[in-house]
Structure 1
Amino acid sequence: MIGACFTKRLAVAALLALSMSACSSTSSTPTSSSVDALQLASTSTPLSGGGALRVVKDLPAPQNTQNGSEQPLSPNDVLEVNVFQVDNLNRTVQVDASGQISLPLIGTLTAAGKTVRQLEKEIETAYGAKYLQSPDVTIFVKESIGQRITVDGEVNRAGIYPVSSNASLIDAVALAGGFNNVGDAAKVFVYRNIGQNTLVANYNVEEIRAGKNRNPRIYGGDKVVVFASKSKIALNNLKDALGVASSAVRIGVLAP
């Protein structure tokens, strides 16, 4: 009698799981639909603030990078400027809102939009013109606003993370603690601003890990969004429902 009752309750649990899965899919419909739309889109979609959202197969490097290898400095970046063997000229400076920094003797220079190497050469030229013979300037970026990425969606630790100059998509996923129990490694979307437009590409992290596809470079300002797997959501709902049914059976057996 108990066995028949348990079987019947498992059947009910399975039906409950399917309905819960449907409800879950409905609640996450915007996410799932947006994924499907992005995968099928062939034209760009205008954005309210100007520009357009465009779906691409692979993201290009951001503008103003040197062959995609180094990003330009941004307002609010904190720089440590060292002049070799001239300690009194060493400074820690922050790029202001207008993109400028101020240094002893040479005054104000524009830093935003330039790479570290470009700014080093410009400072060396300025000091060499009047004050020093063959100056050697080194700049270290202590804090970089432009070198932060956002990782969101179905990961264990969504948030904003600093990244190195050679960070990859696999690195970004690792920073966020990997995928959670419903994250879909085949539905990892990377958004990147190029001029007025936002470009987005879908990457399959499973294939990247297996060596079937290249591991794309991630740049400061990128947004990485991991979408949910419908099959994993359904499986979790089934497990939860079966767990509830099993608990109910145990309570029925133990009840007087």
Structure 2
Amino acid sequence: MLRALPLVLSLTAVMLSACGGGPKMDISQMTAAQPVEAALFSPLGQANEYRIGPGDKLDVRVFQVEDLSFKEIVVDTSGEIQMPLIGTVRAAGRTPNELSTDIAGRLGTQYLRNPQVSVVVLEAASQKITIDGAVTKPGVYEMRGTTSLLQAVAMAEGPTRVADLSKVAVFRTVDGQRSVALFDLGAIRQGRADDPAVRGDDIIVVDTSQMSVFMRDVIAALPGLSVFRPY
């Protein structure tokens, strides 16, 4: 019986600024926080947390089966790839490990005995993040591959002098629900806290000491740093 091959994620982080200034987000219009189901924000070093997206280029290998292996396959705009025998496979929103497990499972059901599948992200398509609040150049920016929170703020040319670095909020959709987590950028800069990876469509708000009442209420309700809470 063949041993399972280790999954390798090879991804080079490249940051490209897309826009300069932009309209400020009005966080006062958001609804109040609801009871929490916590989700931890993964540190940047955990490469398996990268979620594949449309336009990403993948290397998909089925061990010792060349006809089912592809040195370069692009995720289409619907977030899918086409594979021989098993047809359409959903790739977007999954980690390379999750995708390889799905492909292996489908092949193993009818066609191969104990297939060994590896998925490598060769090139990550650009994804957009919004950076707002007390930063030099708020706006919408493009990122490629894995980008940390510290790197994302640097895209907007860093925080302003009035920024409260202990209160940096990241808004994200978690399991279909809009959620928010709070980070201490000062602690991250000093190496006292992990620098977490941000994802496409995240909204990052570096706030000032003049924080809105709504944001104070949301932050006060958070169970702790680096934990997402629905709002």
8 Å CA contact 1:148–1:160 kept in 2: the answer is: yes
What residue number does 2:39 align with? Answer: 60
1:116-151 deviation line (CA, Å, top 9, x unaligned): 212212222333455555543221232256x65333
| Cα distance change on mapping 1:222 and 1:86 into 2, 3 Å | same
Equivalent in 160, 168, 188 of residue 142 of structure 2 = 160
What residue number does 1:94 align with? Answer: 75
Q: Is it true that 1:209 corresponds to 2:185 in the alignment?
A: no
User: What is the count of residue pairs matched by the alignment?
Assistant: 177
1:66-112 deviation line (CA, Å, top 9, x unaligned): x9962554455443323344444315131442x43211232222334
What residue number does 2:159 align with? Answer: 179
| Cα distance change on mapping 1:125 and 1:207 into 2, 3 Å | closer
| Cα distance change on mapping 1:126 and 1:151 into 2, 3 Å | same
- Report the AA paired with residue 178 of structure 2: T
What residue number does 2:149 align with? Answer: 169
Q: How does 1:1-256 map to 2 (within 5 A)?
A: 52=31, 54=33, 60-61=39-40, 70=49, 72-89=51-68, 90=70, 91-97=72-78, 99-129=79-109, 131-132=111-112, 134-141=114-121, 142-144=123-125, 149-156=129-136, 158=139, 159-164=141-146, 168-180=148-160, 182-195=162-175, 197-210=177-190, 214-215=193-194, 217-220=196-199, 221-228=201-208
Aligned Cα root-mean-square deviation (Å): 4.2
Q: Hey, which of these two has a bigger chunk of strand by percent?
A: 2
- The SS at the match of 1:54 is coil
| Cα distance change on mapping 1:68 and 1:83 into 2, 3 Å | closer
Using structure 2 for the length normalisation, give the TM-score.
Answer: 0.54
User: Which structure's relative contact order is higher, taking Cα pairs within 8 Å and 6+ residues apart?
Assistant: 2
Q: Hey, which of these two has a bigger chunk of helix by percent?
A: 1
Percent identity between the aligned chains? 33
Unaligned runs of 5+ in 2: 1-23, 211-231
In structure 2, how many angstroms separate the alpha carbons of the residues matched to 1:193 and 1:120? 24
- The SS at the match of 1:119 is helix
- Report the AA paired with residue 159 of structure 2: F
In structure 1, how many angstroms separate the alpha carbons of the residues matched to 2:109 and 2:195? 42
8 Å CA contact 1:150–1:161 kept in 2: the answer is: no
| Cα distance change on mapping 1:193 and 1:68 into 2, 3 Å | farther
1:185-239 deviation line (CA, Å, top 9, x unaligned): 2442221223454333443322443466x33633413211223567xxxxxxxxx
In structure 1, how many angstroms separate the alpha carbons of the residues matched to 2:174 and 2:202? 10
Rg comparison, structure with higher value: 1
